[in-house]
């Protein structure tokens, strides 16, 4: 601190750790794969900030000590989505030929962080693949590919509609999600080819698509553990109900710290 200056007052805004994705920087050198990066779409951080939280992008690590230190300091966790799959061996299945890209380091990091959050009852929000990770962390399983395993299902990979929403879901009565949005129907955007199959321990379904595919889950054993299969961070500027999802995370963090 600069001599003569006062220490800034402690903010009451909750500190929310956001899990990032991995990638590589472009490289001009032939044969060089570029430098390893952690990346995060700005929309996640903006949604947290606009809801009244302080977003913090977390470093992906295999260190159990570092994970515990993160959990010690964070008020809540947002597990972001990503264009990759969780390896099915983590839920006791063999991989099919429809399995997408695997990011082992990120998956292990997120599962470890989720487990710590669950142990400490830290408020936890999972978006798209983050919802799937919560389910797997609690012993649940996934459909490895909706199109091949649920051929009667509708189209859930609607990336071109990510900014506006692609299909409707039904929000179930008696759930935390229903208390948050106070609506039976929501227009959501989905860009996933996997979905929750068997529910993890203590989880219930809070939303389903018109074809029956699970679109949301939540824990009955924790203060605030919510997973949504769509991408509310893309819809916050046009839909107040999507903003309420992030606001509910911030509110839960404040109530835990009171």
Q: What is the pLDDT of residues 81-98, one digit of tens each?
A: 999 999 999 999 999 999
Please pick, among 128, 156, 192, 215, the residue that the annotation labels catalytic: 128
pLDDT in tens, 109-148: 999 999 999 999 999 999 999 999 999 999 999 999 999 9
Please pick, among 110, 215, 218, 233, the residue that the annotation labels catalytic: 233
Neighbouring residues of 180: CB distance < 8 A, sequence distance ≥ 6: 244, 245, 248
Q: Is 110 a catalytic residue?
A: no
Output the CA–CA distances (angstroms, integers) from residue 80 to 106, 126, 129, 184, 229, in the order listed. 11, 6, 7, 25, 11
Would you say 232 and 246 are in contact if contact means Cβ atoms under 8 Å apart? Answer: yes
Token pair recorded at residue 3: 């001599």
Would you say 175 and 245 are in contact if contact means Cβ atoms under 8 Å apart? Answer: no
Structural domains in the chain, CATH included, are 15-22+36-257 (3.40.50.880)
SS3 47: helix
Q: Is 253 a catalytic residue?
A: no
The beta strands (E) that lie in the chain are given as 15-19, 21-24, 36-39, 54-57, 76-79, 124-127, 142-143, 167-171, 185-188, 195-196, 203-209, 214-219, 225-228
Please pick, among 167, 215, 231, 253, the residue that the annotation labels catalytic: 231
Q: What is the pTM of this model?
A: 0.91
Would you say 215 and 230 are in contact if contact means Cβ atoms under 8 Å apart? Answer: yes
Q: Does residue 205 register a pLDDT over 80? A: yes
Longest dimension (CA), the chain: 69
**Per-residue model confidence (pLDDT) at position 1:** 42
**Per-residue model confidence (pLDDT) at position 190:** 82
pLDDT in tens, 145-187: 999 999 988 777 755 556 666 789 999 999 999 999 999 999 9
Q: Does residue 5 register a pLDDT over 50? A: no
CA distance 172 to 183: 9
**Per-residue model confidence (pLDDT) at position 11:** 59
Q: Is 231 a catalytic residue?
A: yes
């Amino acid at each position: 601190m600069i001599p003569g200056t006062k220490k800034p007052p402690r903010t009451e805004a909750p500190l929310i750790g956001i899990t990032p994705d991995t990638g590589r920087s472009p490289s001009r050198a032939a044969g060089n794969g570029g430098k390893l990066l952690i990346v995060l779409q700005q929309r996640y951080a903006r949604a947290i900030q606009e809801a009244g939280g302080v977003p913090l992008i977390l470093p992906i690590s295999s260190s159990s000590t570092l994970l515990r230190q993160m959990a010690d300091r964070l008020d809540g966790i947002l597990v972001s989505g990503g264009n990759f799959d969780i390896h099915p061996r983590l839920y006791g299945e063999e991989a099919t030929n429809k399995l997408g890209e695997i990011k082992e380091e990120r998956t292990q990091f997120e599962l470890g962080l989720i487990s710590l959050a669950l142990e400490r009852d830290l408020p936890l929000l999972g978006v798209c693949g983050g919802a799937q990770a919560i389910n797997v962390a609690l012993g649940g399983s996934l459909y490895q590919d909706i199109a091949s395993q649920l051929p009667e299902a509708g189209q859930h990979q609607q990336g071109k509609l990510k900014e506006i929403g692609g299909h409707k879901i039904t929000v179930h009565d008696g759930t935390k999600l229903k208390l948050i949005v106070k609506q039976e129907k929501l227009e959501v955007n989905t860009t996933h080819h996997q979905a929750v199959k068997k529910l993890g321990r203590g989880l219930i379904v809070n939303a389903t698509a018109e074809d029956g595919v699970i679109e949301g889950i939540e824990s009955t054993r924790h203060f605030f553990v919510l997973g949504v299969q769509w991408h509310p961070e893309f819809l916050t500027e046009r839909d107040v109900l999507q903003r309420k999802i992030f606001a509910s995370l911030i509110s839960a963090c404040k109530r835990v710290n009171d």
